[in-house]
Amino acid sequence: MDIAILKRVQERNDTDASDIRRLLDSRGIRMVNVMGGAGSGKTSLLERLMLQFGRELRCGVLEGDITTDYDALRIAALGVPVAQLQTEGSCHLDAALVHRGLGVLPLSDLDIIFVENVGNLVCPAQFDIGEHIRIAVLSVMEGDDKPAKYPLMFSRATIAVLSKCDLIDHTDFDISAASRFIRTVNASAPIIETGIGLPGDAELAHWLAGRPNEDEDEIRERFATTA
């Protein structure tokens, strides 16, 4: 006997993610999902952003890792509220785990929450965790062809960050090639070049602080399930 179902595979995760967005919207908090490969400079970028924001925006951080709390300790050293999420082997964060993490952050004292996803260019892109903004980080060490190899990550990014651009002279990374690959799958995400001593950090901070929360329909549209 044939039974028609037609259900989204990720329905449960998407429902949890919508609940998170509703919770954050009710408190006027925006959440940023920071994704990128292992060693792409996500934690360093967050450390520099915390300094950029200073007292302007009250930040909180959820650090996602398979194991260890090294990243959380780095953020805590800046006096920023942080919780470590350990996936215990899983290659990505999901909405349920992020929801538990939000439970230990002082939400009433925060304007913006950064979630550093597990270092991986494939799996984290598959899961909505209730964020408003998705940042895909690609370091110049990794090669300019990565957006072509991991298109889902870059197609879903709200902002693409090229990191470690201060070291670009030591690599053969071609920014225009990387940008063209990103544009193939993403017409609108700003592409921001960051690195120590470069103006990109301030540009990114300004962009994050200035962007109003998207509403649920806009978020849904980007996660549209129809091809």
Partner 1 sequence: MHEFSLAHSILEIVLDSARQNRATRVRTVDCRIGAMRQIVPSYLSTAFEACSQQSLAEGADLIVDTVPARLDCQACSHSGDMTEITFQCPSCGSTRIELRGGTTMDVTSITIDQEESNGHRHLEESAGAQRY
The contact set with partner 1 (CB under 8 A) reads 1-13, 90-92, 94, 122-123, 126-127, 148, 150-152, 155, 180-181, 183-185, 187, 223-227
CA distance 72 to 121: 21
Q: Which residue type is seen at 76? A: A
Q: What is the DSSP letter of 214?
A: P
Sequence-distant (6+) residues with CB within 8 A of 23 are 102, 130
Strand duo 112-116 + 133-139: pairing:
unpaired
Answer for the pair 164, 178: CB distance below 8 angstroms, yes or no: no
Within 10 angstroms of residue 224's Cβ, the number of other Cβ atoms is 7
Task: Return the bridge partners of 161, or none.
Answer: 137, 192
H or E element that contains 192: strand 191-193
CA distance 216 to 5: 25
CA atoms within 13 A of residue 138's CA, in its CB half-sphere: 29
- List phi, psi (to 5°) of 89: 115, -25
Measure Cα distances from 40 to 43, 75, 160, 194 in Å. Answer: 9, 17, 12, 12
